[in-house]
Chain A
Amino acid sequence: MNQPAVYPVALEGLEPRWSRLITATDTRGDERTWHVLDSHADGPQHAPELTVVCVHGNPTWSYLWREVIAAADDRRRVVAIDHLDMGFSERTGTVRPLAQRIADLDTVISALAPTGPIVMVGHDWGGAIALGWARRHTERVVAVAVANTAVHQPENASAPSIIRLARSPGVLGLVAERTDGFIRGALAMTNAMPPEVATGFLAPYRHRSRRAAVAEFVRDIPLEPGHRSAATLDAIAAGLDALAARPTLLVWGTDDPVFSDLYLRDLRARLPHADVHRVEGSSHLVTEDVDFAGLLFDWLDQALGAPTAPAPPSPAATDRRPAWAALSERRHDSSVAIIEPAGASITFADLANRVERVAAAMYAEGIGPGSRVATMTEPGIDLITLVYACWRAGAAIVVADPGLGVRGLSRALRGAVPDVVVGNDKALAAARVMRWPGRRIATGSGRLRTGDASLAAWADTTAPPPPTPGPDTEAAVLFTSGATGPAKGVVYRHHQLETQRDVLAGTYRIRSDDAMVAAFAPFALYGPALGIASMVPDVDLVRPGRLTADALEAATEAIGATLVFASPASLRNVVATAGAGPRPSFASVRLVLSAGAPVPPALLRRSLEVFPAAVAHTPYGMTEVLPVADIDLAGIDRAVAEAGAEANGVCVGLPVAGVRIAISGFDAAGFAEGDLSTAAGSTGEVCVAAPHGKDRYDQLWRTERSSSRTEGWHRTGDVGHLDAEGRLWVEGRLGHVIHGPSGPVTPVAIELALEDLDQVAGAAAVGVGPRGTAQTVAVVSLAAPPDGAVAPPRSRRGPRRDRAAVAPLDLTDAARAAVADATGADLAAVLVVDALPVDRRHNAKIDRTALAAWAERFLAGESVPPP
């Protein structure tokens, strides 16, 4: 029996005025009534310039799009349509396969009489319906945005098991119709949906009689050939090239058990021009987990706005030196290029030859420009061979750092979607277990063959040399630290890496008779590119803090090192284990370079006692641009002396050749949206323009847009200022700025002042309270008392937390005075903890976000475990 369409009751986030009923005659000749949410239901004052049509899937309704509708304005109308038998539309009691759904959409869009061009937006099966309509109306459609949807069952994907289960006889009627289990299951596919929002989603489906179409939609998924809707879906999939000239956005929750990353890959293959924004950790209802409306309109502004200036031309091919150029030049050189800690070595001639052969074999197997190769092997001859062979063949390397942990690594690799994973037996076993995408190729030889080919076999084949990849070919996908949130993929093209190599060579005056020991992962790859011999010392790169002076000495001696690259953690342990005895090979080191985390000047100073002939440099940069600036110990001392009491933060030096640095100041609300400035002393977000910077973030459209919103510049997320000499001082991370009543307060200077106190081992400055009136709080860990001193009693009477406390009065006084003196900031509280929480990857960066959340609760009087 028919049930009429109805208006929804009052629901969270929904404006009653959006709700309207549209009656029209469907293609079967029946009069039907649709419920729609229409930003312009009251009748627009002017005809909008653009209409955004939103199409929900199953088992949701137009409530899904409430924030998109709320973001409409005079120029842009947003309408969201409830399918017949869904939401608050009429219950027709009829079966409406995919083709009919698309025809219905056409009927209701005509009845809505949209003005101006149309943007189609869809989610779940609404995405397929929206795409099905869009490909036939390319004259009206100017852009398409879909989220977690599909138009095709990928060959290598079994149907989503939940859908298979739901489709099995006896189950479908039970979960989808007789109960609201299917709907509740779908609503669980978000990160913590507020109950009032869940109520909104459930509102039209309260009674079994209103849920018939929920089951019907599931039945309409063409899982088997010959299904009534299979031909329609195939036609949509095959016809998507009609949208090739239309801006397209794919938004994807990565943890969707229904539409996994495989479906995203399928859509990207069909819509190769699409912008992609993956939301790491989000599930099927990705629109509930992110600011989807903000993302959509940001994207529309760019996609439909004035065309941006074409990208600056890459360096002319004639004066270009490819990444492997120095290696090629030494292809007849029988001197040693790489030594492994266990003793294996290879000459430049053999390495050049091996790279050429592997590159040719890869290319012959179809691995070339456009391919991505995950390099899951420890630094050494195999890794170097693979990296340079990939570049030579035109494939991009995907360098996932084991320091991300298995989960982080898995996320990174699933996101980057390598075509090939090259690794040792262990890595390939993990690849299989964790279902990392890509063909698996084994390194090593004579061991268990876990891949379908091996690097050794490739090195033995003879194939024609591949064509030289162009400078715009993708060269690498690297990953950010993941210290705060999921690691982000960062894409580099060849010309960017080539410039980076030249910047490194120029900044550190590297010559072909230099030799390098690199205990710092990224630099370990660069020996052949720089044309110098290189070696990685015997240390687990996941635990760089265990590098001993003996292990480093063995490496410097073996390779005859003049350059030592080490993370601060490595350098700290080398200094600690060096002892007093002479180490002759250290005396030939001319440059010690430390990066990856802030390097205290005291550490550089002590390292010079270990390397008596060296200068100690520390570059500043990030995964997205490295290096940005550089400074040596003498430079730091000079900068600190010149700044005197005005010093604020850590001086990281002058920009390296080709790099420009500017500051985007804070606006009245404390957001770094100011015009770029190089004025001395003004604090804001550090912005960098560098030819060797990233090409883009990988499949993170909005993150990329935000970081590069100032054309030609990368916003680093660091906060700092330039001094009168043009040196950059870093004052902290943008996300760690304390927005107090007198304006933004940056943490680094406060922390330096605190760490200068004898009692304090480590310190973090965090904000508590609302943005704009936040109070500054110091959280410190204490230095061990001097030998012979008696530690103050930690336990106190009463049921008290053990490992976090308000600092004693003398420490509070000293801390407050030191901070006020150095920065003018007023500490509301000084708290003592046993240990400050640090991120696992670097074991160095204090997790200030977690610490701030803890301090907020602790200082509110809550009983909360120590951070």
Chain B
Amino acid sequence: MTGATSLLGASVVTALRDRGADVVVMQRRPSGLSGVTEQLGDITDAGAVARAVAGCESVVHLAARVAAVGAEAEFIAANVEGSATVVAAAEAAGVDRFVHISTPSVAHAGASLVGAAAGVADPGSAIGHYARTKAEAELLVLAANRPGFSAVALRPHLVWGPGDTQLIERVVSRARAGRLALVGSGAALIDTTYVTNAADAIVAGLDRCHDVAGRALVISNGQPRPVEEIFHRVCAAAGIAWTPRYVPLSVAANAGSVVEVGWSAAKRSDDPPMTRFLAEQLGTAHWFDQREVQRLLRWKPAVDLEDGFAALRTWYVGAS
């Protein structure tokens, strides 16, 4: 498993460990996870990757450079070349199940998505370095799919949960600062994924890897909600009073306009300026048809949004 330090990575490790799997995790800094074998290193380092995958049957490839800004070369190195390195090492090590974690934005360039299908990754129309390099990575992983090496791409949409320092905490900190605004009407329906549901789907992806080999599947809770409601629930869970304010889509989409929180905002970089892509992400619907993925993976989200927000509330109460 690459990229185990993220919220999702830790959740996947927990799910795998809970069913008795021997898990090797590889990332640049110590993960702090217990009961796993650690292999520190960078995924662009072929030697380190080869050492990590040696003896493994399956690979979950989660590591990526996730940011809305940054130099293109860094994205290419981590996302494209890194993925190629992991795939090559896995094939060399005799791995036969390869689950690649991707993102819905590899196939969708910001337009409104209403009950959308996953679609085919398209680097040509993807917006921004992140989406474009993730699209290339997904294509190269799926191109490696062959008998004896089952590769599948799973695209969880907007993963969140207790302890999430990125998406949830970004909303919360902005709301605390009185700087949380909605783009457009705030009514756009957005799919999100509670973190353990995404982890369960990834484990199911490993289990059904041979059945779904070569496919790209979007993962979500299947419970789209208006952006405004999601912000309200996050703020309520964190115990913050929030009064919505609204920025027109046209204003937000114009370069140089106000900058507000983005669900797909950077993980490691500073807050990005408002980009057209971000404005469209927050101002237009993004939800997906979940029937096929649930049938193929024989998986359903175990935690519905209500329970997820209750867990978030508990976490914030405990944290304060």
Contacts and interface: CB of A to CB of B under 8 A. Distances in A.
Interface residues of A, number: 29
Interface string A773-805: 111000000000000000000001111110001
Interface in A820-856: 826, 828-829, 831, 856
Contacts of A773: 115, 289-291
B285 A860 contact: yes
Interface in B232-261: 232-233, 236, 243-249
A770 interface: yes
B224 interface: yes
Given A797-B246, A858-B187, A828 B223 contact: yes
A799 to B, nearest CB: 5
A796 B244 contact: yes
A243 to B, nearest CB: 49
A829 B232 contact: no
Contact of B185 (A769, A770, A775, A863): A863
A806 interface: yes
Interface in A625-667: none
A801 B249 CA distance: 13
A809 interface: yes
A768 B228 contact: no
Interface in B94-117: 112, 114-115
A826 B223 contact: yes
Interface string A311-344: 0000000000000000000000000000000000
B74 to A, nearest CB: 31
Contacts of B285: 859-861
B128 interface: no
A796 to B, nearest CB: 7
Contacts of B289: 741, 770, 772-773
A858 B233 CA distance: 20
B189 A775 contact: yes
B222 interface: yes
A809 B184 contact: no
A829 B187 contact: yes
Contacts of A863: 184-185, 248-249
A859 B115 contact: no
A828 B224 contact: yes
A859 B283 CA distance: 10
A708 interface: no
A812 interface: yes
B188 interface: yes
B185 A801 contact: yes
A184 B114 CA distance: 36
A704 B289 CA distance: 35
A175 to B, nearest CB: 42
Given A768-B114, A826-B223, A860-B112, A806 B229 contact: yes
Contacts of A860: 112, 114, 188-189, 284-285
A799 B115 contact: no
Contacts of B246: 796-800
Interface residues on B, range: 20 to 34
Contacts of B123: none
B225 A829 contact: yes
Nearest to B233: A809
Contacts of A774: 115
A239 B37 CA distance: 93
A698 to B, nearest CB: 38
B257 to A, nearest CB: 13
Given A741-B222, A741-B290, A769 B114 contact: yes
A861 B188 contact: yes
Contacts of B287: 769, 775
Contacts of A741: 222, 289-291
Contacts of B244: 796
Contacts of B112: 860-862
Given A770-B289, A806-B228, A775 B247 contact: no
Contacts of A812: 229
Where chain A touches its partner, the secondary structure class is: loop
B186 A806 contact: yes
Interface string A690-705: 0000000000000000
A805 B229 CA distance: 11
A856 B287 CA distance: 12
B273 interface: no
A799 B248 contact: yes
A856 B113 CA distance: 11
Point out which of B187, B223, B236, B285 has the most chain A C-beta atoms below 10 A from its C-beta: B187
A855 to B, nearest CB: 9
A861 B284 contact: yes
Contact of B189 (A768, A772, A797, A798): A768
A809 B290 CA distance: 26
A187 to B, nearest CB: 31
A858 B114 contact: no
A863 B228 CA distance: 15
B70 interface: no
A11 to B, nearest CB: 28
A859 B291 contact: no
A806 B188 CA distance: 10
B311 to A, nearest CB: 17
B134 to A, nearest CB: 23
Which residue among B222, B249, B284 has the maximum number of chain A CB atoms within 10 Å of its CB?
Answer: B222
A342 B41 CA distance: 97
Contact of B226 (A800, A829, A862): A829
A770 B186 CA distance: 21
A127 B47 CA distance: 79
Interface string A714-736: 00000000000000000000000
A812 B245 CA distance: 19
A546 B247 CA distance: 45
Contact of A800 (B185, B236, B283, B284): B185
A104 B195 CA distance: 73
A774 B114 CA distance: 9
Contacts of A798: 245-248
B291 A772 contact: yes
Contacts of B284: 860-861
B232 A809 contact: yes
Contacts of A801: 185
- Among B248, B285, B304, find the residue whose CB has the most chain A CB atoms closer than 10 A: B285
Contacts of A826: 223, 304
Contacts of A861: 112, 184-185, 187-188, 249, 283-285
A854 to B, nearest CB: 11
Contacts of A768: 114, 189
Nearest to A826: B223
Interface string B181-210: 000111111000000000000000000000
B229 A770 contact: no
A484 B275 CA distance: 43
B3 to A, nearest CB: 30
B245 A797 contact: yes
Contacts of B283: 861
Given A741-B222, A741-B290, A809-B229, A858 B185 contact: yes
A831 B223 contact: no
A326 to B, nearest CB: 58
A824 B208 CA distance: 30
Interface of A: 741, 768-770, 772-775, 796-801, 805-806, 809, 812, 826, 828-829, 831, 856, 858-863
Given A741-B291, A801-B185, A860-B112, 17 more contacts: A768-B189, A770-B114, A773-B291, A775-B189, A796-B246, A797-B245, A797-B246, A798-B246, A806-B186, A809-B233, A828-B223, A828-B225, A829-B187, A858-B185, A861-B249, A861-B283, A861-B284
For the complex of A and B, 3 pairs with smallest distance between CB atoms: A861-B188, A798-B246, A769-B115
20 contacts: A741-B290, A769-B287, A774-B115, A775-B287, A796-B246, A798-B245, A801-B185, A806-B186, A806-B187, A806-B228, A809-B229, A809-B233, A829-B224, A859-B226, A861-B112, A861-B249, A861-B283, A861-B284, A862-B112, A863-B248
